[in-house]
Chains A and B, each alone.
Chain A
Amino acid sequence: MLGIMKKDAPVYLLMSGFGVFMPALDAFLHGLGANSVVTTGMWTLILVIPAAQCEIVERLTRGYRFLRALPLTAREIVWAKHLWPLTLVSLHALYAGLLFAALAPAEKVRHLSRAYFVLNGNLALLAAAVLLFFVFRFGLSRASMTALIVLFVVGMIALQESVLHLLKSIVAFGTWPVLVVVTSLSFGAYALLAMASTRAFEQREV
């Protein structure tokens, strides 16, 4: 399982590097205001893209045929593919939250960012889990995967401002108990989708 994760690591780490560096640069150059919440949160969402990139490579190289010939169970393969998005999206949401908690001048922005990053992190996790489910259930083609991910990113970019405005008007959303419940539900959904992917992968011919 670690071998598969190591193989995929460069793709995830490159994108995560940008996800860490760009918000920090933004904070350094412009300071952290309400607008930075949107740009920083985008990086959490963008962490879904490496998942699609890795699957496109597996598809092109018939990688799963190679992996299924080795002593690896379907569960190990599927979870190896789920652990990177889970880890990096969670860490990035945490990083963004801490960045704003430490550097944002206004309490209102800190409060808003917390809710926003948790929401984006959960959205990114669900998007990754759904994408991976489609991959393991149907063996998505490169074109379908690219289309899905482009639709997701474009959709999210288009909706970011609206989500921010919505959040501003629902300040109550940002309380800790609500965030914990929403995140727990999201983690639970992620685990359920990973289990469904494992089952689908066990049944599917690679």
Chain B
Amino acid sequence: MSLRTVFRRIMAERLAFAGFIFIVLLVLVAIFAPWLTPHDPAEQNLSKVLKGWSTEHWLGTDELGRDVFSRLIMGSRAAIQSGAIAILIPLFIGVPLGIISGYLGGIVDDIFMRIVDGIIAIPAILLALGITAAFGASLWNAMIAIGIIFTPQFARLARGQTLQIRKEHYVEASKISGGFTRWIILRHIIPNIAPPIVVQASFNLSYAVLIEASVSFLGLGAHDPQVSWGSMIQQGYSMIHMNPWLIIYPGMAILLTVLAGNFFGDGLRISLDPKHKLEDK
């Protein structure tokens, strides 16, 4: 299936299309955040705390008089960065390990899969917290931890797919005719196991945004002057009886991002499924 077909199929799914557009916009906002913020997101103004909407501060100010709208824009960076790391680390570490394990088989594979199963048994958020605690609580370490926790899942997925493909006749034929292992993996295995891995990766954006927000909410991720939607909610919660909007805005930002990621992932899964009948318009 060509990339163009896949793209056209996703665009045919309305929600997936909306999700895709939202994510693209969010990535752009995250990249150009410093130029988009009307105010310095870290600038405090104690004469203007907890203000509501105004033409100067579109979404009001927080308990330190910082501009909420600017902080929301800046917070998209933490979300998109965690999403990117949560996709890249598993893809570049988990997937190769899984392919090698599945391709080699035997005792190496057995041991490797037991290790992977063992790590997956640990609830994701606990693993993220444990790693963050060990490395030291910071946004960067939290993001690395999020990348690490998804790595075993990708290894397991890649390994399972490789096991299936390895038995296909064309792979066997390539082996018999003297193909090098590296050639077989690059030419036959990777292109054929890619679709389910790409789908899984697209969902990782959502998971990563949720976990980063939780870790930052617990005070183990972003610290001032860094901004994360999770830490905005944490700081806003102490002011909930004065101005509940301080938690509502960042919460909506997280919810919309996760929804967009899920819709896009669902659309991608349907579009990449060759068995799925969809009228190609």
Instruction: State whether these chains interact.
Output: no
**Chain B residues in the interface with A (C-beta under 8 A):** none
A residues adjacent to B (C-beta < 8 A): none
